[in-house]
Each structure stands twice: as C-alpha cells, then as structure tokens.
Structure 1
Amino acid sequence: MRHRYLFIGGLHRSGTSLASRIAASIDGIGAIENAPVPENEGVYLQGAIPHDALSGTPGAFAFDPDQHHIEGGPYDRLEVRTRIEADWAPWFPQTPWRVEKSPVNLLRSRLYQQLFPLSQFVIVTRHPLAVARATEKWSDLNEADLVAHWGQAYRLALSDAQRLHARVILRYEDIVADPGAALGALRAFCDRPDGAVAPEPVRDGNADYDLRATMPCSDSARAAMAALGYGPDGAVLPLVTEAVTHPLRRVREAVAAVWPPRI
C-alpha cells in the first residue's frame, strides 16, 4: 500500500502526543504504537539520521545547529530516505497515512519535505510559560532559558514553514478548548472522509500552573509569541500567522472552516 506522512513537531510538553492520538483516531491514519522508545517517537526508530538523548534535549535542542535539518544538507540523500522507510516500516500499520510524532520534527520539516515530497506537517505549540513550567522538572535550566529556547525553536519553525507546501498550526490551548474541531481540522487537512469517531476527552493542563507571573522574554520569544497569538499572563489571543497552507484550495477552505476554533 502506498502511503504518505503526516509529521508532527513541537517542543516537549506542547501537546504533540495529544495531536498524534487525535490524528491516529481518523480512519486511514496510522501511528507508531508499543515501540520500545520514549513516547513512540519515530526519531529513535531510524538509523539514517543519528539521534540520541542529547540530540533532543528538552529546553536545549533548538540552540544546536546540528539539529536543524533542511534541504541540501548532508541528509538530503536517496539512501537516507530509503533507510528511514525501511526502519519505520515494521512499526506502522498498513494505512494510507502514517503519522510520525517527534519533538525534533519541528526543525526537520524542510528536510522531510525534500525526502518525502507528499508529506504534510503539523506544528504544535503551547504558551511558552506553560511549556517552561511543564519542562523544568526535566531540566537544570531556569525559566528565562526555557522561554528563550521556546522562542528560538518557533522562530526557526515558523521561518521554515514558509517553504512548506502543506502545514497546519495546532495550538494546545485550541485543542483542549475544542478537541472536536482539532479532529475535524486534521481530517480535512489529510482529506479523509468524515467518520463517526468521537474526540478523546482532554483536560487543560495549563490550569496546573500560575501563568500570571512575570515572564522573562527574549526578543525571539516575543516575536514568536506575537505570531502565534500568545500574550502576558498566559493569554491566548487570535492567531496572527495563517493557520493552514495547502496546495489545494478545497482542503485549505475545509480546514479554515473549523480551525482555529472560536474560543
């Protein structure tokens, strides 16, 4: 069976696992399950692009230039594509779409588009202060450093996104506000037929943190926050950046009809 890839990327604790589960609930979209790697992340299941725990360190990987892969780089080769396909094949079900979720996909979209020209991309984001609060248990970095890393990661991701044929931005806050709309948006984005799948119940993890505190903010974080509709005190504002791009107007309009939801 021929297949296409839906690559999901976003910082740790941003909602990538949630987005992947929603996508995989749609008929014709399959995800990696029960793999002996953290969070079923496909990046650990392939040997074409070296990756270990240090490669995707929470709060740090976006500052490592070796983790930002684009077309024309050392991994833009047919043998890399062939090896990735062979390594991933045993872990995916036989479905028209394969959804692969790894945080570092945030910085690999241009390379993956070159290797897999019909692939599509989901950029998952969450308020930077919530990400910092949720990530600090894994990191020795302070809050200012974690917010700065968020800014660096999404500055690069949004810049790369301008070169993608098909991508959609899913904000964590929008997903938890209306998981049904997120399900509909992903179904439309992959042009899958309507089904009777109910969205999974979700809770707002941002409620676990006091986001009213003063947030140290780098220039890159401020720019990315403005583009993605994040403000002080955990505020979620209208999305400034276009939510979806796709070469087919029919698909663009179908996604735009439901996403982002009005919250």
Structure 2
Amino acid sequence: MGEPWDDRTLVFISGLHRSGTTQLHATMATHPDVGALLGTTAPHDEGQHLQDVFPTARRHGGPGRFAHDPRSHLTESDASPGDARRLFAQWARVWPDDRRVLIEKSPPNLIRMRYLQGLFPDARFVVVVRHPAAVALATQKLATGFWRRRLGRAAPLGGTLRHWTAAHRLLLEDLPHVSSRVLFRWEDLGRDPVGVLDGVADLAGLGPGFEPVELDPTVDAAYAERWAATPRDRTLAAAVEEAREVAACFGYDLDDLTALGRVRAG
C-alpha cells in the first residue's frame, strides 16, 4: 500500500525570515498545478504553524535566534514514517486536493531539509538566500518585539547578523545531503525573474504558468544606504568578520551590498 503523497510532488521553500520566501510562495501559488497553504490562520501561511510534529522557530528563540539552538537543526536521523504520515495529514487539511504539486514554506526549513527529505524522500527543495546585511537589518525590526517581551531590549544588529551566519553555515553543511534542490539569491530574482522561475519550474516538474514577478529595486537600495550609514561598534564589527567567509560562498560582499560575485554553494 502506497503513501497518500505518492502521486504528488512536494516542494519545500527554504529561507530565513525576510529572505523573500513569502514572495516566492505567492508567485508559485499562481500556477494552476500548484497547491499552497493559503488563507490560513498561521502567520504568513507558514506550514510550521499548522502542525504539531516538530517545534516551530518560536520554540527555539524566534526570528533572528532559532538557528543558534542545536535542537532546531533536524536531519534524517530525526525522521520517522509515522511523523511523515501525520505531518502530511495535517497539511492536507489545507492543501487543495486537486493539485499535483504541493508547496510549503517556513523559515526553519533552511536547516531542516535533510529531515524533510527523510520524511518525504522524493521531495524537492527551493532555497532562497539574501544578502546577510539586508536580512540582518530586516530581521532586527521583526525580532525586536520578541526580544522586548523576553529580554526587555531591542534585537542587536550584530545578533541578527550572527544568526544569518549560523543558519547559512548549517545550510552549507546540509546541501550535499539534499538530492533535489535549486538555490538562488533573492537579488537574482530581481535581475532575472524569468530565468530563476524557469529553474524553479523545472525542479517541480511544472510547465509555464507562474504569473510575472516584479521586485521593487528601491528596497534593497534602501538597505544598502542604511548599512553604509550604520556605525560598526565592536560587536557588529566582529559579527561582520565572522560572516565574511560564509557570505562569500553565496557571492556576497559585506562592504558593498550591490556587488554580487559567483555562488560557490548549491
């Protein structure tokens, strides 16, 4: 007897908070053959909040913190057939039952692809990365509410940058173990949306059907200006130096947000 997902293609979107996964999820959901978790009560329609099989990012510190908790990093050794059936059943309550490609996105997927592959061996993974400075600046604002409630202070920029580094260091370790995947930079989606989405469609086994996507170039330009104007105290300077090697693997320069080099990962 087969599994209920045997005639479906499961695609997991992976990327940190503020890396562009919400935009990609919305774009993929425009394809007539794609079923997404849409219109749910979950924040940003993230699948992590619609199941009880594994802990959410919030259980491990929330945005800008969760990857520092070793328990947040899940691999195939944490997977079991029972978990796969329970997880699929919980998401299937929301997924349309007439679509052959089913997608899910949650920030912790970035460091749980091996686990999800262990549950669903034929799953596909779309990995989105974004410049660490842009993510750190955006996540600082997102995480501050959590930090104020728990720690009584704003989220430090050096802390959110270190989180990017920690998460993407784990990503680099995990990528060789993930079979069916495509990785692209958020910045590449703005420069070549057709090429990026064609790669996503090929991975998922989809024909044409995505609605065109246009990103606002002023958003990244504003982050570049903010980053250039941000004083680097000792904590932030140390976080920048710590991030350089990992960032370079994705073609990023910590001193120039507009410079994109060759991706050496993925």
TM-score over 0.5 for the pair: yes
Please, which runs of 5 or more residues in structure 2 have no aligned partner?
A: 145-153
Distance 2:16 2:57 in 1: 16
1:212 aligns with 2:228: yes
Aligned-pair CA distance for 1:239: 2.9
Aligned-pair CA distance for 1:56: 5.8
Asked if structure 1 preserves the Cα contact closer than 8 Å seen for 2:172 and 2:265, the reply is no
1:81 aligns with 2:84: yes
Asked if structure 1 preserves the Cα contact closer than 8 Å seen for 2:9 and 2:204, the reply is no
Question: Map of 1:98-137 to 2, 5 A cutoff?
Answer: 98-137=102-141
Aligned-pair CA distance for 1:83: 0.7
Relative distance call for 1:162 and 1:58 in structure 2 (3 A) is: same
Asked if structure 1 preserves the Cα contact closer than 8 Å seen for 2:140 and 2:155, the reply is yes
TM-superposition CA deviations, 1:142-200 (whole Å, max 9, x none): 111111110000010121011111111121111122222222121122121234x4412
Counterpart of 2:148 in structure 1 is: none
Counterpart of 1:179 in structure 2 is: 193
Counterpart of 1:91 in structure 2 is: 94
Relative distance call for 1:118 and 1:175 in structure 2 (3 A) is: same
Asked if structure 1 preserves the Cα contact closer than 8 Å seen for 2:33 and 2:100, the reply is yes
Which stretches of structure 1, 4 residues or more, deviate above 3 A after TM superposition?
217-220
TM-superposition CA deviations, 1:37-73 (whole Å, max 9, x none): 1000001101111336333611100001111000112
Asked if structure 2 preserves the Cα contact closer than 8 Å seen for 1:151 and 1:218, the reply is no
Aligned-pair CA distance for 1:96: 1.3
Instruction: Give the superposed CA RMSD.
Output: 1.9
Distance 1:220 1:111 in 2: 27
1:166 aligns with 2:169: no
1:39 aligns with 2:70: no
Aligned-pair CA distance for 1:218: 5.1
Aligned-pair CA distance for 1:87: 0.4
Asked if structure 1 preserves the Cα contact closer than 8 Å seen for 2:250 and 2:265, the reply is no
Higher radius of gyration, 1 or 2: 2
1:241 aligns with 2:249: no
Counterpart of 2:11 in structure 1 is: 6
Q: TM-score, normalised by structure 2?
A: 0.84
Distance 1:194 1:107 in 2: 30
Question: When the two structures are aligned, how many residues end up with a matched partner?
Answer: 240
1:149 aligns with 2:169: no
Counterpart of 1:257 in structure 2 is: none
Please give the secondary structure, in 2, of the residue aligned with 1:129.
helix
Distance 1:236 1:20 in 2: 26
Please, which runs of 5 or more residues in structure 1 have no aligned partner?
A: 244-263
Q: TM-score, normalised by structure 1?
A: 0.85
